[in-house]
Amino acid sequence: MYNLTVESSYPTPYASSQFLSMILLSMIGQKHTPNTTTDIKDGYDYVVVGAGSAGSVIASRLAEKHCVTVLLLEAGKPPPKVTDIPGVARSFIGTDIDWNYTTVPQLYTGAGLLNRSVAWPSGKTIGGSSVINAMLNLRGNKKNYDDWAAHGATGWNYDGVLPYFKKLENNTDAEYVRNGYHGVNGPVTVSKPEYDTELKRAVFETAKSSGYRVGDVNGPKQKGFYDIQATVRKGQRCSAAKAYLVPKGHKNNLDIVSQAFVKKIIIENSKARAVEFDFQGKSRHVRAFKEVILSAGTINSAQLLMLSGIGPQEELKKHKIRLHANLPVGKNLQDHWGTVIGFELNSTFTPLQKKLESVANINDYITSKTGPLTSVQGVSVIAFLDRKGHDSPGDYPDHQLYFWEGAMAPIQSQMRLKPDVSFNPNDANFCSPTMVFSSGSEEEVYFKSYFGPYENKPFYLCLSQIVHPKGTGKVTLRSNNPYDPPNINPMYFSHPDDLEVVVEGLKKCKQFGSSQALKKIGSKMFATAFPGCEKFVSDDDKHFRCIARSMVITLSHQTGTVKMGNPRDPSTVLDPQLRVKTIKNLRVVDASVMPSVPSGNTNVPTMMVAEKAADLIKQGITCSS
């Protein structure tokens, strides 16, 4: 069952609603988190660190071998049941199931953000970020994986990974399955949200009339507009934990432990021997007879490796950590980030927040799992586009657009908008982290400058996101204390081409928002301006550059800090089997291993990596019966 006090403690629209109990009861048929244990043995064949999108998969698949024992350690607690409601996913950002990371001050953007730093949500719970993400089912581009293989990640070309994308998937929509690129027997349910909007219909009408392709972006071609599918099972979130761990919760050879904070890997004679972690107020050690597998995510896996003595020599020396392997851990950090502009809609539209609170819509969800509560955070349409035009040769789009029904509460509380500012983005000091901003009441003034007049009105956001950035960042240690968050520096817009890609996407946003089909539903770009950008509003290039330099958000697609590839390549940390170079019995299996970020959302590619890794490991396991 559920604890109503706990469920109501999260800031969903139903926290104090009389309908919360009914909503929870209506979802009880789908168990969302596995059974856990507090009885931890002294040793296991495999110790997996992190029960997120990758760790859930790898632990589950290894436990299919009855002759091995598996321990899965997760720093966070089991998630509340309300996380199963797709439409309220952003309600859990900034709570106790989020690591609540922020970046260091950004040099090339963030002028409108508190301390010029960007909020970096990351799931800290069983299921990890698959419990708080937007659930979008995206794989990336074929070229991404062929490039991985061409640069030394042997076996990770598109033909080598497609079977694993299909293996993990249970696609419920026949129109997608028939092209042969999808699976129907996997653990992860993929389906269209049971919610359509006039915004979606208007965008699709404009796209088709303009010659754009509308269809499956996970099939033969990526470029075009996507009729969204999500990792949703009958109107409820299908997290990695629900898909992989819940069905295996009864297995005697798999122990799942929550609220176990891993501090380091014990390495002796260049071999991973054990894991040290805090549990129930005590420091514990557990032996790994075969392997330690890090699945803690792009930030935490890099941090744990460095705390364990694996990383750049100069970084470890700075923090007085004994060196076991001098490897470029924490470098090659890549991400997808974007910038938004707002559009108002006809006053006859109901704002998303009110839709989510509507008694009729709540009743639809309770009785039939349909309506706005099944939306993926309000995202109506996604498009993968190319600056060269939709009719250009090739199929390697460089930006992604989101058409997103807006809700003010998460914008105000989660985007770190700062007090109103007085600056000229073209001044020499515009990019200086030491800029002085005028005083104000936290984010209130800046928020009200742009969003304020539309706070109680229906609107949508159009977000322009770069999909294969040229700039890279890094993760470094703040100290040798495992409880200190690391320094995260994504270096957004450090390569000038990345800014131009995002600006081009914002131009497309304006173009679509001004189309006849969208004008019919009242689409009109916000008349307000970002502080400091007012004098550029008549020049789209300057205006959109100014906005991008003022505010960015991460799409939480971080990858690359524990890069796999050719073992002889000095930029790699892992070989193509995901084994840490020069250290035995240690692998990393999560998004950090990706040599370059896929051109799309990364939750599904992360599960694919874990599916393939499981097969690589299981090849070396032979059970006698």
The answer to whether 154 and 173 are in contact (CB under 8 A) is: no
The answer to whether 425 and 549 are in contact (CB under 8 A) is: yes
The answer to whether 533 and 549 are in contact (CB under 8 A) is: no
The answer to whether 192 and 227 are in contact (CB under 8 A) is: yes
388: its two tokens: 């060269």
The answer to whether 49 and 292 are in contact (CB under 8 A) is: yes
Burial of 42 (0-12, 13-18, 19+ CB in 10 A): exposed
510: its two tokens: 């304006």
The answer to whether 41 and 286 are in contact (CB under 8 A) is: yes
Please give the helix or strand (H or E) that residue 511 lies within, else none.
helix 496-513
Contacts of 493 (CB under 8 A, 6+ apart): 106, 108, 109, 471, 499, 502, 548, 549, 552
Angstrom CA distances, 499 to 398, 470, 502, stand at 12, 10, 5
Distance CA(176)–CA(183), nearest Å, equals: 10
Distance CA(600)–CA(395), nearest Å, equals: 13
Q: How many CA atoms lie within 13 A of 428 on its CB side?
A: 0
**β partners of residue 282:** 279
Amino acid at 260: A
Please give the helix or strand (H or E) that residue 357 lies within, else none.
helix 352-357
3-state secondary structure 269-284: CCEEEEEEEEECCEEE
Residue of 445, 459, 365, 453 lying closest to 404 (CA atoms): 459
The answer to whether 527 and 513 are in contact (CB under 8 A) is: no
543 is catalytic: no
Contacts of 121 (CB under 8 A, 6+ apart): 93, 94, 98, 99, 100, 101, 129, 132, 414, 554, 556
User: Active site residue: 182, 336, 399, 557, which one?
Assistant: 557
Burial of 492 (0-12, 13-18, 19+ CB in 10 A): buried
The answer to whether 590 and 278 are in contact (CB under 8 A) is: no
Indicate the SS3 state at residue 256.
Answer: strand
Amino acid at 409: A
356: its two tokens: 């989510």
DSSP 157-193: SHHHHHHHHHHHEEE--HHHHTTS---BSSSEEEB--
Termini Cα distance of the chain = 38
> Which active-site residues does the annotation give?
557
